[in-house]
Amino acid sequence: MKTVKTLFVVLTVLLITALLSGCISMELKVNKDGSCEAAYIIDASQFDGFLTVDQIEESFKQSVEETNTKAGKTVAVLKSVKENKKDDTITVTVSISDINEMEEGAFFGTVKEYRRESGVGLDALMDKREKAMAAEYIPDDLHMVFLPMSGGEDFSFIEVTITVPGTIEYLTHGADLEKGNVARFKGKNALVVFKIGGGGFPVWIIPIAAIILIILLMIIMRKPSAAPVVSPPVTTNAPDTFINTTPDS
C-alpha cells in the first residue's frame, strides 16, 4: 500500500479555512482494472459566498498536479467542475487510473494482497444480511476497495458511496447496502469486498428463454387440428341398369 499524499487535498484557500470540515461527500465508481471516477460533491451553502467555483477549481487543479508529480506519471485528470445553484452544490469530477495512488491508505486489489500489506478493517465486516463476519472467513480471492473516510488533515467526508464492478459480499459493519453493487458509508472507513463481475454464462438469458418457450408452447396448443379426410364415393361411367320384374303378358 503506497503512502501517497492524499489526492485532492484542497490547497490554498481551502486549506486555511475550516469551512470544508464536514461538507464534502464522494461518489466513487470503480472499474475492473482498479481505475475509477470520483465525484466530490461540495455543500456550497457552508461557504456563505466566501469561496467561489473558480477558487475551488484552481485548488483541485493544484492538488491533481501535485499528486501526478509525486507519482512521476499522470494518475489523475480533472474532468469537470460544475455548480448546481438549485441544490447549492459544486461537483468536482476526477478520473483516476489507479485507486492505490488516490490517497494514503486507499486500496484496490484482492483480499490476499490486502492481508499481505497488513490492511485494516477486515475484522469489522458484515455480510449482505448484516451478520458480523470474522476476518478469517473472508476468502482471499475476492476483490476489495478500501477508502479512509478522512479526506486529509483539513477535511473529512460526510458520506462515501462506492459502486463496484461486481457483487458485494461483505462491507464495513453499519454501512448501507443500497444495491448489489452499491454501498454507502457514513462516519466510518469505506471497505467493500466483492466478487468481480464479467465472464461466465450470462444468466439473464435463462428467464428470457423460458418466456419464449412458454409462448411457443401456447401457440402450438391453440392451433386447430386438421379436419379428417373423407374419400368421395366411387362412381363408374356405366349406365344404370334396371331389372324388369313385370311378367310378360
DSSP string, 141-175: TSEEEEE-SB-SSS-BEEEEEEE-SEEEEEEETT-
Calpha distance 8→23 (Å, rounded): 15
Residues β-bridged to residue 226: none
> pLDDT value at position 155?
45
Q: Which three cell numbers stand for residue 126?
A: 458484515
Residue 241 has pLDDT above 80, yes or no: no
> pLDDT value at position 168?
97
Locate the domains of the chain by residue range. 12-196
Residue 34 has pLDDT above 60, yes or no: yes
Task: Report the phi/psi class of residue 39: left, alpha or beta, with left for phi > 0 and alpha for psi in -120 to 50.
Answer: beta
Residue 164 has pLDDT above 80, yes or no: yes
> pLDDT value at position 92?
94
| Spatial CB neighbours of 42, under 8 Å, sequence gap ≥ 6 | 20, 23, 24, 56, 89, 90, 91, 92
| Spatial CB neighbours of 183, under 8 Å, sequence gap ≥ 6 | 161, 162, 164, 168, 171, 175, 176, 177, 190, 192
| Residue 226: band (very low, low, confident or very high) from pLDDT cuts 50, 70, 90 | low
Residue 161 has pLDDT above 60, yes or no: yes
> pLDDT value at position 247?
56
Residue 199 has pLDDT above 90, yes or no: no
Calpha distance 64→27 (Å, rounded): 18
Nearest to 38 by CA among 110, 111, 105, 97: 97
